[in-house]
Amino acid sequence: MSHGNMNLTLKVWRQKNTKATGKLETYKVTDISPDMSFLEMFDVLNEQLINKGEEPIAFDHDCREGICGMCSMYINGRAHGPKSAITTCQLHMRSFKDGDTIVVEPWRAAAFPVIKDLTVDRSAFDRIISKGGFISVNTGNAQDANCLPIPKPDADAAFEAAACIGCGACVATCKNSSAMLFVSAKISQLALLPQGQVERTSRAKNMVAQMDEEGFGNCTNTGACEVECPKGISLENIARMNREFFMANIKE
Amino acid sequence: MSTTSGKFLQSSLGKKLLMGLTGLFLVSFLIVHVSINACIYFNDGGATFNAAAHFMAHNPVIRVVEIGLFIGLILHAVQALMLTMQNNKARPVKYAVPAGNVSSKWYSRSMGILGSLLLLFLVVHLANFWVPTKQAVFNDMEHDTFAGLKEVFSKWYFVGVYMVGVISLGYHLLHGFQSAFQSLGLNHKKYTPMIKSFGFWFSIIITLLFASMPITMFLGLIK
Amino acid sequence: MSKLDSKIPEGDLEQKWTKYRSTIALVNPANKRSLEIIVVGSGLAGASAASSLAEMGYKVKVLCFQDSARRAHSIAAQGGINAAKNYQNDGDSTYRLFYDTIKGGDYRAREANVYRLAEVSANIIDQCVAQGVPLAREYGGMLSNRSFGGTQVQRTFYAAGQTGQQLLLGAYSALQRQVGLGNVEMLSRHEMLEVVTIDGKARGIIARDLVSGKLERHFGHAVLLCTGGYGNVFFLSTNAMGSNVTAAWKAHKKGAFFGNPCYTQIHPTCIPVSGDHQSKLTLMSESLRNDGRIWVPKKKEDAEAIRAGKKKANDIAEEDRDYYLERRYPAFGNLVPRDVASRAAKERCDAGFGVNKTGEAVYLDFASNMKYKYGKQEAIKKGITNPTEKQLHELGKEVVKEKYGNLFDMYKQITGEDPYEVPMMIYPAVHYTMGGLWVDYNLMTTVPGLYALGEANFSDHGANRLGASALMQGLADGYFVIPYTIGAYLSNEIRTKAIPTSHPAFEEAENKVREQINKFFAIKGTKSVDHFHKRLGKIMWDKCGMARNESGLKQAITEIQQLQKEFWSDVRVPGSADEFNPELEKAGRVADFLELGELMCQDALHRRESCGGHFREESQETEGEQQGEAKRDDANFMYVAAWEFKGPNSFELHKEELKYDVIKVSQRSYK
C-alpha cells in the first residue's frame, strides 16, 4: 500500500500499564502522505506493528474531528503538536517534513496517570465537574427559554468559555501541570450567565477544592495553556475564576 | 473563621493571591529604594544620598514598614518554595522534549531560579549595606552609607554580582508584575494591555536604574 | 396477529401523549430507591435519561466506552436542534414540525411517536437553557434560529457550529451532578458485551472494564441502550472511531427485533475521501447549505479539466455552472432534505461532472452570498457606497466567519485549501442510521425491561431524518419520554428484589463473552481487524450505499458471509484479554458489524421500493416532472420491517403496519 512519499522516525513512549516504567521506543514509518492526519499516520504504524507480530501503540482518539477531546499526544514538546488551535486528530502530516524525527509522549501529570503507552486517565476532570460544574435544575423545572433574555455579549462570552473540550492540553503543557484553564472555563461559563448566579459561591469554592485535591499544580501565569488550547480558551477565565473564588471566600 | 481563612490560604488560589499581593508590596519597596539610590546622581559627594539614607534608617514609620517588608519577603519566598515543591510533585515524570519558547516566555517559566538568584543576591546585598547601617544605628553612630557604596562598587566582582542580581530582578519583574494582577483576578480587555505595557517599561527602567549605579560608581563617574 | 405491539395509546393524535402521560402507572418515591436502572451510553439520550431518572430517585448506573461521559459522539453534531417554538413568528407549530418530520421521513415513521417528539421539542430548549447551555442569541437577548433542510420555517436553535457539544455538555453536567450526589454510578471505559435475561426479562448486562480487562456483571431492573447508530458498518462514516453496534446487536441476538436496518442516511456535505489511508469522514454542517450554493460545471470538458488540475473552480464562468439543486428543486433549492441532495450529487458525479481527482466531489460555494448578501449588507451598515468586489468579499467574509468560522477552519485544516477563497469540495458520506432496535411507544424493545433510546432505536425518523432532528430526538427520549414511560414497566417490578449476580443467567452470559474473547486470541491469524473492517465497508458502500439493486445486494450478502468466515479464521488480535487492549475492543465490534451488514443487505433486498435514504434503482419515477426521483410503493411496503434473530445468518421478518390517520400520504416533492 503506497500512500505518499514521506519517511519519518518516531520516538514513542511505550508503557505497559500504570505501574510499569516506560521508555521511548524508536520506529520508522515510510510512504506517509501529507494529506494524512497525525492519527492516520499512527494507524499506519500500528498496522505495521500488528503485521510484524508486535503490540500496537495504545492511544486515545474517538471523533477525529476535533471536538470530543479524547485525543491527546505531546508531540515534539507541544501538546497536540506544532500547530496552534487544533487537536492532534486535526494535525495533518503536511505540517512535517520528510526525514523528520518526531517524539510522541503522553500527557504528563500526577493527576493524569498513564494507563498504557499514550493513553492517560483524565477522570479527575469529571470529578471536578461533579463538584459544581452544573446548574442544579432538575428535568422539567425549566421556564420558557425566552423568559430569560441574555445579552448577546454575555451569551457569546459564556459560549467561548463553554467551548472547552476537556482534552487536558492545558494541564499537559503547563510546566506545573495546573488545571486552572479547564476549571476556570466552566466556572466562567456559568458565572457569566444569569442561570449560574444562584450557586455561584459554592461552585467556585467546591470546584477549586476538588481541583486541589486531585493533585494538579499551581498556576504561575506563564500563559502556555492559552496558547496550546485547541479551542482558544482565554486566560481571562483564570482571572475570573480567581475573582469568583476570592469573592466566594469573602462572602462565606 | 480561622479555619476558613486557613483553608483559603492553603488553597491553590489563596496561595496565588498571597504571592501576588506580597509581590506587589515588594515592588512598591523597589520604587522607594531606587528613588533613594538615585540621589547619588546629584553628584554632591553623597550628601543628599546620605541624608535620605539617614531618614530611612531613623524614621519610626519606615522602621515599622521595614518589618513588614521582611515579613512580605519571607512570605513571598517561603510560599514560592512550597508552590514549587508542589508543582514538581504534580509532574513526577518529566517530558523528554521539554516545551520550548513557543507557548511561553523562558523567564515566566524560570521565576523560581530567578527568585533564588535574587535571594542569594539579597544576602550579599544586605551584608554589604544593611548590616553595617544597622550596626551603626545600634551603636548610635553616624554611618556614611555613600562611602560604603563607593567601597563596594570599587571591586569588580561585587559589580558583577550586582549585575546578576539586578538582571534577575528585571526578568523577575517582567513576568511578575503583570502576573500579580492576573493572580488578583484583574484581567480586563481594556486595562490588561495597559498593565502589561506599564509592567514592561517599569521592569526595564528599574533594572537600568539599579544597574547604572554600580557601573557609574565603578567607572568613577560619581564623585 | 403480529408479534409486534406498538402500544400506541388510543385517542386523538393531539391528545395521545398528554392523556397517556397522565395515566401511566407511577412508582412511589420510596420504591424508586430500590429500583436499579442500567444506562449504556452517555450521549444525549443516555446522559439525559440517566440524569432525569436519577433526579427522580432511581438508582442508576451508566456505562460508556470512552474515558468520560462527555466524549460521546453527540458532541460532534454541528448545526442545531429543532424545536417548534415559533419564536420567529413564521408559522411554525407542533403540527408543522410533526408534518415536516413525517414527510421528511418519507412516510415511514409512526404518527404518534413523531407527534410526541414535536410536542416535547419546545421543552427541550427550555431545559437546556435552564442548564446554562449558551445557545445563540440576538442582540435583544432572545434566542436565535436558523433554517435547515427539508423545512421552510426557521426552527433550528444552535450554538455556532457546536450545538451538539453544548447540548451534550449540558446533559453531561446534569449527569455529573447526579454522580456527585451519589445517585449515579459512572463507569467510564466500560463496554457492554452482553445482555442478561432472566425469565424473558432483561435483568442486567456483562461489561468489560477496558482498563483492567475484567469482565463485570451488573444487575438492573431495567436496561436502557443509548448506544447510538451503526454507521461505522461502512468503515468510513462521520461517526466517531469507537461508535459501534455491539450493544444493540447483542440485544438483537437476545431477542430484540431490529427495525429497518437498511435505512441509512448519507449526508450530502462531507469532505471527500483523500486517499486509502482515510480513517473517517468529516461532516460540514448542513447549516452551510443556508449560505452555500452547490454546483458542478455544466460542460463535461470543464469537469475533466478540473479533475486533471488544469482548471480551478474560480475559472468557470457563472453561465457555465450548473446549480443542479436549484435547477431540479426550485422550491427548496439547496435546502432539500439530505437524501435528495446526496442522490443528486451522486447523479452528477456518476454522469461525469465530479470535480476532484477521484471525480467524487461537487462544489459548495459561498462566494455569491459572501459578496452580494452579507457583503452588501455590511457595506450599507458601514455606509460604504459603490464598494468594490474585493471590498464586498472582505466585508462578507467577516460575517461568514462569525457564522461558520470553526467549520471553515476545520475544512482548511483537513484539506489544506482556504474555503473563504475557493469553493469547498464536498461529497456525500454515511452519517446516521434511521434504523435501530425496534421499540414500542414506551421505547421498550421486544425484550421486556430492555429499552432503546436516541439513534439506537428506529422510531421517529422513518426512512430519512431531517437535519437538526437527531439532537431533538435523543434529548426528547431521555428527558421527556423515558422518565414517564419506564413507569409502565417498573411499577410492576417493585416487588423484584435485586437479583444477585451469582445467578446462573449471569454466569452463562459471562461465559459466552469470555468464550468469544478467547476465540479471538486463539485464531492467531495474519490480518488486522481494520483490514476486515475496511473490506466490509467497501462492500457495504458499493452495494448497500446510496443506491442499491437486487443483484448487488445478493452479491453483497454472499461476499459478507465469505468475509465473516475469513475473519473468524484469519484475524489477528495482539496482546491479551487482561489489559487495556484497543485491538480486542475493535475485534468484538467488527465481528458484530459483519453480522449486521448482512442483515442490512437482507432488509434492503426485501424492500423493493425506494423511500428516504433507501434508494432501489429498480424503483424510480419514469415519467413526468418527477422523473428519476425515488418511487415509493405504499401498497406493499408501508410497514416497519422488524427482524428477529433466528440463529447465525438467519433472520425472520415481522411487519408493523403504519397507519396514517392524520396526515395524507403523498408523493414527497420538493420541486
- Grid coordinates 494507524 are at which residue? A43
The predicted-structure confidence for B181-211, as pLDDT tens digits, reads as follows 999 999 999 999 999 999 999 999 999 999 9
CA C628 to CA C329: how far, in whole Å? 13
| Residue range A197-212: mean pLDDT, rounded | 97
Q: What is the nearest CA distance from C525 to chain A, expressed in angstroms?
A: 10
Residue B99 has its nearest CB partner, among A78, A235, A244, at A78
Closest CA to C143 of C128, C161, C132, C158: C158
CA C510 to CA C341: how far, in whole Å? 46
Q: How many CB atoms lie within 10 A of CB C659?
A: 12
Q: How many domains is chain B built from?
A: 1
- The residues, ordered by sequence, that sit 6+ positions from A241 with a Cβ below 8 Å of its Cβ are A180, A183, A184, A187, A188, A204, A208, B13, B185
Residue A69: strand, helix, or coil: coil
CA C280 to CA C283: how far, in whole Å? 10
Q: Least CA distance to C139: which residue of chain A? A: A152
| Residue range A55-73: mean pLDDT, rounded | 97
CA C274 to CA C652: how far, in whole Å? 40
Domain limit, last residue, from C391, C407, C429: C429
Question: Quick check: A222 and B8 CB within 8 A?
Answer: no
* The pLDDT of residue A1 is above 50: no
Closest CA to C99 of C482, C660, C671, C474: C660
What cell was used for C70? Answer: 462527555
Give a yes or no: residue A242 inside a domain: yes
Give a yes or no: residue A1 inside a domain: no
Question: Quick check: A149 and C141 CB within 8 A?
Answer: yes
Whether residues C383 and C526 fall in one domain? no
Give a yes or no: residue A178 inside a domain: yes
Confidence band, pLDDT 50/70/90 cuts, at residue B1: very low
Long-range contacts of B137-141, Cβ-Cβ distance < 8 Å, separation of 24 or more: B137/B57, B137/B58
Domain limit, last residue, from C413, C429, C445: C429
Q: Least CA distance to B180: which residue of chain A? A: A221
What is the predicted pLDDT for the residue at A3?
A: 65
Instruction: Give the mean pLDDT of chain B.
Output: 93
CA C254 to CA C251: how far, in whole Å? 5
Give a yes or no: residue C351 inside a domain: yes
CA C638 to CA C657: how far, in whole Å? 6
Closest CA to C55 of A142, A136, A207: A136
H helical segments located in chain B: 2-10, 12-37, 47-58, 60-89, 111-125, 131-138, 145-152, 156-183, 192-218
CATH of the domain at A207: 1.10.1060.10
Domain limit, last residue, from A74, A101, A116: A116
Whether residues C289 and C413 fall in one domain? yes
Whether residues C326 and C421 fall in one domain? yes
What cell was used for A163? Answer: 467551548
Q: How many domains is chain C built from?
A: 2
Residue C580 has its nearest CB partner, among A63, A119, A190, at A119
CA C564 to CA C532: how far, in whole Å? 9
Catalytic residue among C338, C348, C548, C668: C338
Give a yes or no: residue B96 inside a domain: no
CA distance readout (Å), A122 to A86, A108, A125, B100: 19, 11, 6, 24
What cell was used for B172? Answer: 523577575
Question: Which range marks the domain in which residue A153 is found?
Answer: 123-251
Chain A residues inside the 8 Å CB shell of C240: 62-64, 68
Q: Which amino acid is at A45?
A: L
Note if C70 is an active site residue: no
Are chains C and B touching, using the cut-off of 8 Å on CB pairs and a minimum of 3 such pairs?
A: no
Which residue stretches of chain C have pLDDT < 70? Answer: 1-2
Instruction: Give the mean pLDDT of chain C.
Output: 96
Give a yes or no: residue B92 inside a domain: no
Q: Which amino acid is at C620?
A: Q
Confidence band, pLDDT 50/70/90 cuts, at residue A131: very high
Question: Which range marks the domain in which residue C407 is found?
Answer: 267-429
Regarding predicted confidence, which is higher, A231 or C358?
A231
Question: Quick check: C280 and A64 CB within 8 A?
Answer: yes
Whether residues C417 and C546 fall in one domain? no
Whether residues A24 and A139 fall in one domain? no
Report yes or no: C420 and C403 within 8 Å, Cβ to Cβ. Answer: no
A178 interfaces chain B, CB cutoff of 8 Å: yes
Report yes or no: C56 and C80 within 8 Å, Cβ to Cβ. Answer: no
CA C248 to CA C261: how far, in whole Å? 12
- The residues, ordered by sequence, that sit 6+ positions from C111 with a Cβ below 8 Å of its Cβ are C13, C98, C102, C659, C660, C661, C662, C663
